Structure 1
């Protein structure tokens, strides 16, 4: 059978052959690592020899074997099997040369020392093997533990994703079912319904459509914030105007609830994105409206504090369990009480993202006597840069 290759193919093969030793390039690294282990073995033997020289006047030579055994144990634990065996072998040679009569030769006057040499080396090898096996078992257990932990985290993540998907699906279906039911009733029995009934069905469909729109809008806003795609249209703004716009947007949802507004006199204009900060204030008012008792007031306060504009929204709802305050601005977090309250758990997360995009801060705390206070701090003098 004949083979033929073109010049280009031969050149390609030649260059490929030159590139083959990627493994050979690793050999010096591996050799360097192995050499380092043996160098440390020699260092351990030198240290053991120096220790034995110090204690030599007080011990018979056979008792010095334990110092070299200790060096073997250290090598087995820190360096591995082969360097530990090398330590045992070098220890035998050092013990023979420096401490067995006649000293500074490898000759042995008393043949019983040969048994000592043999025992030192064999015990050293056994210790090295046992320690190496324990290390392998420990590494295996650590690997299995990591795998188990990763599996547990993966399972917890899957459970969380499933719960979030179920929650989102429920929040999407609920308004859709209400809208579909209202429109079906109007379509099927519209002529037989009274004007009042038709008007109530239309209002139900409209309210649920608004709810669905807010839900989808919150998801989109959260996606933009996490992607860093939020852009600020900064301009000097009047806080009184900001509060007024938010209250106008919330007028229908607030109904007859009392809202008290307390603005410190002489508030300066604040550089902010009016549309986005209006959304923040609307989300805070909506959150307070959902959780506070129907007859309790919501309070809005604004003041200047050490170079910051401080904007507060407080209510008299159940507050947040103290051990969960740190999760208040997490995505999809909802206060566990009252159970009747719905929502996506995205409103406060969106507030946090927008406020921080302004260079500000937001935090929440429980009020004395019950209720929740959300505090926003916006910089007055510090320039705010837009996020890309």
Structure 2
């Protein structure tokens, strides 16, 4: 280990000893005319004052030497017999001892006070720099700006470099800005990930840059850890207290990154809200504008369809089918716009599940004609309190989807059974199934599943179904069947059954 002191430390100390020696000699020369006119003990104060003056400017060593040299000079030039270190009066020994002790204490205390003042000024300067950094970070709008400010702070603070690793919204830890090292990338990333995982500061010699110290600080924001701050500090500027001193820098950086994260989230939410509002407005406007001419088209097509048999009647029938299909799409657009704008208004009443299933099958008789319909309804289903029109629409949408996305001749199964405090109603088919990766996306507006052949629709049916079911306090799920195909199920809560009228009263009614 190299124990040689740097020249920058030796020169001030040597200069201090020279100044202390010269000061004692000059004070002795200036006080020589006062010999015999002033009591020797009064000269002690001048030498102690010199000790304070030296201690205010130089380290403890020169100040202590000033106290010792002052005692020697006082004894040699001012205490009889003069020009000799002999002491004629034993009482002067006490004066020498007190003068030496007081001089050394003054040197020690004054030097410590000076060092504290220097440290206070350095701390004030560091706090000022950190305040300026925090103020600058509060105005950043991108992580790259945060990284640039940290790099400038590190260069000014200790002549080093700074690097920022940020964990984005997708929880991927990545570097912001260019890397500070060319090699050891795998080891470097492993260290950063360790600090990110454990949340403890780490420091070591920088293997990629000899002569520099590597300091990694976790960026712990109020909500969660946002990343890691990496600092490359020259060895001449490194000290064990540096990680603690830079803790506030890591904190303000973490807060700045968290602010940027939530600003981004808020902006995305605002954009999403505006997009949904605009989409609802367009849907409502288009639905109303298209609905009137469609009604006229359907009426005219039905009038033409009553004409005598022939080509005109066939074309009228085709026109009527297409107009009805387009009218159904427009109705769904209008329903979605209304549900998103004002919510679901329920007209609850006690209903039988069997009757709702029968009504839905009757409504879709033509659409389900090419499929085998199987019913599996539990015999002991209770009455449920729900909006019959809306729940029938849910069943119709699920059955229509099952018919669209499964080949002709395949089975469509309708199930209803009790599951504790809810009744589960399901529609299962033997079609292509639902996407295994993101089945929940099927319930978003304008999202359609994969199908064999051309399937019409806008992808609004399932979204409308979920809104209606959740308004009733239930839930709607989609899953793939083990034997192939999809199964869509929704639940409705069971309520206390309505009181039954006595037989006499019911007969009278």
Q: The TM-score by the shorter chain falls in which range?
A: 0.5 to 0.7
SS of residue paired to 2:367: helix
CA distance, structure 2, for counterparts of residue 171 and residue 304 of structure 1: 39
CA distance, structure 2, for counterparts of residue 175 and residue 339 of structure 1: 28
Alignment partner of 1:286 is 2:400 = yes
8 Å contact 1:313–1:375 — kept in the other structure?
yes
Task: Give 1:348's aligned residue.
Answer: 462
Q: 1:212-250 CA deviation, whole Å, 9 max, x = no partner?
A: 222222222223333445333333323222222111111
CA distance, structure 1, for counterparts of residue 291 and residue 407 of structure 2: 24
The alpha-carbon distance between structure 1 residues 288 and 172, as it changes in their structure 2 partners (threshold 3 A), is farther
Deviation at 1:347, TM superposition (A): 0.9
Superposition pairs of residues 28-47 of structure 1, within 5 angstroms: none
8 Å contact 2:422–2:494 — kept in the other structure?
yes
SS of residue paired to 2:366: helix
Task: Give 2:424's aligned residue.
Answer: 310
Superposition pairs of residues 122-141 of structure 1, within 5 angstroms: 122-139=121-138, 140=140, 141=146
Deviation at 1:296, TM superposition (A): 1.6
SS of residue paired to 1:251: coil
Task: Give 1:371's aligned residue.
Answer: 485
Deviation at 1:167, TM superposition (A): 11
Task: Give 1:357's aligned residue.
Answer: 471
Task: Give 2:368's aligned residue.
Answer: 254
Task: Give 1:219's aligned residue.
Answer: 333
The alpha-carbon distance between structure 1 residues 236 and 291, as it changes in their structure 2 partners (threshold 3 A), is same
Task: Give 1:119's aligned residue.
Answer: 118
RMSD of equivalent CA atoms: 4.4
Aligned length: 279
Gaps of 5+ in 1: 1-60, 63-100
CA distance, structure 2, for counterparts of residue 307 and residue 148 of structure 1: 42
The alpha-carbon distance between structure 1 residues 311 and 325, as it changes in their structure 2 partners (threshold 3 A), is same
Instruction: Indicate the structure whose relative CO is greater, using CA pairs within 8 Å and at least 6 residues apart.
Output: 1
The alpha-carbon distance between structure 1 residues 134 and 225, as it changes in their structure 2 partners (threshold 3 A), is same
Deviation at 1:282, TM superposition (A): 0.5
CA distance, structure 1, for counterparts of residue 270 and residue 295 of structure 2: 37
Deviation at 1:324, TM superposition (A): 1.1
Q: 1:51-95 CA deviation, whole Å, 9 max, x = no partner?
A: xxxxxxxxxx99xxxxxxxxxxxxxxxxxxxxxxxxxxxxxxxxx
Deviation at 1:284, TM superposition (A): 0.5
SS of residue paired to 2:487: strand
CA distance, structure 2, for counterparts of residue 231 and residue 160 of structure 1: 20
2:390 corresponds to which of 269, 276, 284: 276
The alpha-carbon distance between structure 1 residues 163 and 290, as it changes in their structure 2 partners (threshold 3 A), is farther
Deviation at 1:313, TM superposition (A): 0.5
CA distance, structure 2, for counterparts of residue 267 and residue 246 of structure 1: 18
Gaps of 5+ in 2: 1-58, 61-100, 141-145, 147-255, 499-509
CA distance, structure 1, for counterparts of residue 287 and residue 410 of structure 2: 27
SS of residue paired to 1:322: coil
8 Å contact 2:443–2:466 — kept in the other structure?
yes
Superposition pairs of residues 139-288 of structure 1, within 5 angstroms: 139=138, 140=140, 141=146, 142=256, 195-288=309-402
Alignment partner of 1:319 is 2:433 = yes
Deviation at 1:265, TM superposition (A): 2.3
CA distance, structure 1, for counterparts of residue 490 and residue 329 of structure 2: 23
CA distance, structure 2, for counterparts of residue 204 and residue 196 of structure 1: 13
8 Å contact 1:168–1:344 — kept in the other structure?
no
8 Å contact 2:298–2:320 — kept in the other structure?
no
CA distance, structure 2, for counterparts of residue 351 and residue 287 of structure 1: 12
Q: 1:154-200 CA deviation, whole Å, 9 max, x = no partner?
A: 77888999999999999999999999999999xxxx9xxx9543233
TM-score by length of 1: 0.57
8 Å contact 1:179–1:205 — kept in the other structure?
no
The alpha-carbon distance between structure 1 residues 158 and 340, as it changes in their structure 2 partners (threshold 3 A), is farther
Q: 1:15-59 CA deviation, whole Å, 9 max, x = no partner?
A: xxxxxxxxxxxxxxxxxxxxxxxxxxxxxxxxxxxxxxxxxxxxx
CA distance, structure 1, for counterparts of residue 423 and residue 398 of structure 2: 17
TM-score by length of 2: 0.45
More helix by share: 1
CA distance, structure 2, for counterparts of residue 332 and residue 210 of structure 1: 20
8 Å contact 2:475–2:491 — kept in the other structure?
yes
8 Å contact 1:167–1:344 — kept in the other structure?
no
SS of residue paired to 1:254: coil
Deviation at 1:373, TM superposition (A): 0.9
CA distance, structure 2, for counterparts of residue 339 and residue 173 of structure 1: 31
The structure with more radius of gyration: 2
